[in-house]
Chains A and B, each alone.
Chain A
Amino acid sequence: MKTPIYLDYSATTPCDPRVVQRMLPFFTETFGNAASRSHAFGWTAEAAVEEARSQVAQLLGAHPKEILWTSGSTEANNLAIKGTAQMYREKGNHLITAITEHKAVLDPMKHLETQGYEVTWLPVDRKGHVDLDQLRDAITDRTILVSLMAANNEIGTLHPLAEIGAICKQKGTLFHTDATQAAGKIPLDVEAQHVDLLSISAHKMYGPKGVGALYVRRKNPRVRLTSQMDGGGHERGMRSGTLNVTGIVGMGEAARICREEMATEVPKLMALRDRLEQRIMKALPDAVLNGDPQARLPHLTNISFPYVEGESLIMGIKEIAVSSGSACTSASLEPSYVLKGLGLGDELAHSSIRFSLGRFTTEQEVDFAADRLIAEVTRLREMSPLWEMVQEGVDLSQVKWTMH
């Protein structure tokens, strides 16, 4: 077993070797510009792009013509949100999202607020769910778009897409979902789930970095977007720029593998995740599972370890690559806004670790990670004044701390 062990698949995934093999000729031999209509180099590239488009469409239950290539999910989210907001400005100026969305949704929304749009920021419950009645009540005849993610990137909570989509359809507003974390992990079907716009990224599903896609519904209703990148009129004028043919080919292959192997891959991931979780919980019974224990991604678990701080914990388990909701891992010194959005106290948010498993994770790695983590939490607790106080029977919520 090689260390460090990678348990941060929600941050990014390695390319599947099959994806790399499929991409290689497009760097050197079939390098044409997909927009070159006058020669075989261009035709070959275009054919490959269209095949990939079809693969991505199949993963989502969409038509290939509804897939638009982008540089990743951040661009796809920006295009979906700003693109519809600008296109449908005559209908209204209202958008709805939730406080636990990814920054690539929150920040475009905040940007729109400075441009005269109004945004409703839905709160979430302890498990990370929005209240669907509250969503329904928030939609008015001036609402352009509802944007709610398929799966949360920090805690893995799944939003009920079909129910949200049905509400939006009934109320006559567009529904965008950021499915970056969900694609390839849970079944997505834009028809059954009434999704109008959907963002995905290749590098979260064993494809290359720097390529993504936006699904844009073509009928019932036909969704139109104001382009955010102007130029040669590629992608039906919605996203100009020479296509990243190599990356697109990789994304297509990655989507194909995910679709064909999901049925066998997901149960395996879930078993490994449960094994990790159970081993940790058994040894550290006061650890807290964040998010929804049922409706969540199969490969992710987010756990808080009370009385120890996240960054020091991560430092101690350097043989394991994971993420933390701790303030100290960011420059802002603020703990995870997602965990705080759930109503978690700062101290629990500070001590949280996100483990995300993937295609190449083994049982041996999971056991090693659990054991290292348990040992380090135990060591840090021995060093923790909070743990000592709790052992002495002190109620930490009653202590008068000196804020700094």
Chain B
Amino acid sequence: MAYSDKVLDHYQNPRNVGSLDKDDPNVGTGVVGAPECGDVMKLQIKVDDHGSIVDAKFKTYGCGSAIASSSLATEWLKGTTVDAAAEIKNTQIVEELSLPPVKIHCSVLAEDAIKAAIEDWRKKQAAAKGAAAETK
């Protein structure tokens, strides 16, 4: 199968590979996919007090398109806001990376990973606020 230049670039030079402290209340972690399906993505965001994403990291087990989709997602996440991040659609990833139809699931997974990371961060924030309210 022929890969687009952008997929190859992200695969060979993945952006933002790594991990953030998953216990940090400002960090949201999303892990989606399953080894049986051939892809697992872990995507993390670090959010400041203004709801801006100051850092994003990923680790992906999967094909080149899955790695490229998650790498691209972290690029888009850094510097944006949580609200804007929640609007990222898999179709934008498909378009940017010129993914063929059989690889569309990779982009869906990346969108799911973003949503899962945001969800995790929101839960942590709510829990922290709740805990703060109780101690008052």
Interface residues of A, Cβ cutoff 8 Å to B: 307-309, 311-312, 315-316, 326-329, 331, 333, 335, 345-347, 350, 382-388, 396, 401-404
Complex formed: what's the CA distance from A43 to B105 in Å?
60
Complex formed: what's the CA distance from A309 to B108 in Å?
18
Give every chain B residue within 8 A of A346 (Cβ-Cβ): 35-38
Give every chain A residue within 8 A of B31 (Cβ-Cβ): 385, 402
- Chain B residue nearest to A350 in the complex (CB): B38
B61 near A386 with CB under 8 A, answer yes
Complex formed: what's the CA distance from A396 to B42 in Å?
14
Interface residues of B, Cβ cutoff 8 Å to A: 1, 3, 11, 14, 17, 19, 31-42, 59-64, 66-67, 102, 105, 108-109, 112
Give every chain A residue within 8 A of B60 (Cβ-Cβ): 383-385
A309 near B34 with CB under 8 A, answer no
Query: Shortest beta-carbon distance, B15 to chain A, in Å?
Result: 11
Give every chain A residue within 8 A of B34 (Cβ-Cβ): 401-404
Query: Shortest beta-carbon distance, A390 to chain B, in Å?
Result: 11
Q: Which of A311, A315, A401 contacts B36 (CB 8 A)?
A: A401
Instruction: Tell me which of A347, A383, A403 has the highest count of chain B C-beta atoms within 10 A of its own C-beta.
Output: A383
Give every chain A residue within 8 A of B41 (Cβ-Cβ): 385
Complex formed: what's the CA distance from A315 to B67 in Å?
11
Complex formed: what's the CA distance from A76 to B119 in Å?
58
Complex formed: what's the CA distance from A329 to B32 in Å?
22
- Chain A residue nearest to B62 in the complex (CB): A309
Q: Which of B59, B63, B102, B105 contacts A404 (CB 8 A)?
A: B105
Give every chain A residue within 8 A of B33 (Cβ-Cβ): 401-402, 404
What are 26 A-to-B residue pairs whose CB atoms are below 8 Å?
A307-B61, A309-B61, A311-B64, A312-B11, A312-B62, A315-B11, A316-B11, A327-B38, A333-B102, A345-B35, A345-B36, A346-B35, A346-B37, A383-B14, A385-B41, A386-B40, A388-B19, A388-B42, A396-B35, A401-B35, A402-B31, A402-B32, A403-B36, A403-B37, A404-B109, A404-B112
In addition to A309-B66, A312-B11, A312-B63, 13 A-B residue pairs with Cβ atoms within 8 Å of each other are A309-B63, A312-B67, A315-B11, A328-B102, A329-B1, A333-B38, A346-B35, A383-B60, A383-B61, A384-B59, A385-B60, A401-B36, A404-B108
B67 near A383 with CB under 8 A, answer yes
B59 near A385 with CB under 8 A, answer yes
Give every chain A residue within 8 A of B19 (Cβ-Cβ): 388
B64 near A386 with CB under 8 A, answer no
A308 near B3 with CB under 8 A, answer no
Instruction: Tell me which of A316, A346, A401 has the highest count of chain B C-beta atoms within 10 A of its own C-beta.
Output: A401
Give every chain A residue within 8 A of B35 (Cβ-Cβ): 345-347, 350, 386, 396, 401
Q: Which 9 A-B pairs have the closest CB atoms?
A: A401-B34, A347-B35, A385-B42, A346-B36, A311-B63, A385-B59, A328-B63, A315-B64, A350-B38
Complex formed: what's the CA distance from A307 to B35 in Å?
8
Query: Shortest beta-carbon distance, A393 to chain B, in Å?
Result: 15
Query: Shortest beta-carbon distance, A14 to chain B, in Å?
Result: 23
A309 near B102 with CB under 8 A, answer no
B3 near A315 with CB under 8 A, answer yes
- Chain A residue nearest to B105 in the complex (CB): A404
Give every chain B residue within 8 A of A401 (Cβ-Cβ): 33-36, 40
- Chain A residue nearest to B41 in the complex (CB): A385
Given contacts A315-B64, A404-B112, contact A388 B59 (CB under 8 A): yes
Complex formed: what's the CA distance from A104 to B61 in Å?
33
Query: Shortest beta-carbon distance, B52 to chain A, in Å?
Result: 25
Query: Shortest beta-carbon distance, B99 to chain A, in Å?
Result: 12
Complex formed: what's the CA distance from A387 to B19 in Å?
13
Complex formed: what's the CA distance from A308 to B102 in Å?
20
Give every chain B residue within 8 A of A387 (Cβ-Cβ): 61
Query: Shortest beta-carbon distance, A126 to chain B, in Å?
Result: 19
A308 near B32 with CB under 8 A, answer no
- Chain B residue nearest to A311 in the complex (CB): B63
- Chain B residue nearest to A397 in the complex (CB): B35
Give every chain B residue within 8 A of A307 (Cβ-Cβ): 61
Give every chain A residue within 8 A of B109 (Cβ-Cβ): 404
Given contacts A384-B60, A402-B33, contact A309 B17 (CB under 8 A): no
Complex formed: what's the CA distance from A401 to B39 in Å?
11
Complex formed: what's the CA distance from A346 to B40 in Å?
13
Complex formed: what's the CA distance from A385 to B41 in Å?
7
Complex formed: what's the CA distance from A289 to B18 in Å?
30
Query: Shortest beta-carbon distance, A287 to chain B, in Å?
Result: 16
Give every chain A residue within 8 A of B64 (Cβ-Cβ): 311-312, 315
Give every chain B residue within 8 A of A345 (Cβ-Cβ): 35-36
Complex formed: what's the CA distance from A312 to B11 in Å?
8
Query: Shortest beta-carbon distance, B128 to chain A, in Å?
Result: 24
- Chain A residue nearest to B101 in the complex (CB): A331
Give every chain B residue within 8 A of A308 (Cβ-Cβ): 61
Complex formed: what's the CA distance from A386 to B35 in Å?
8
Complex formed: what's the CA distance from A350 to B102 in Å?
16
Complex formed: what's the CA distance from A388 to B67 in Å?
16
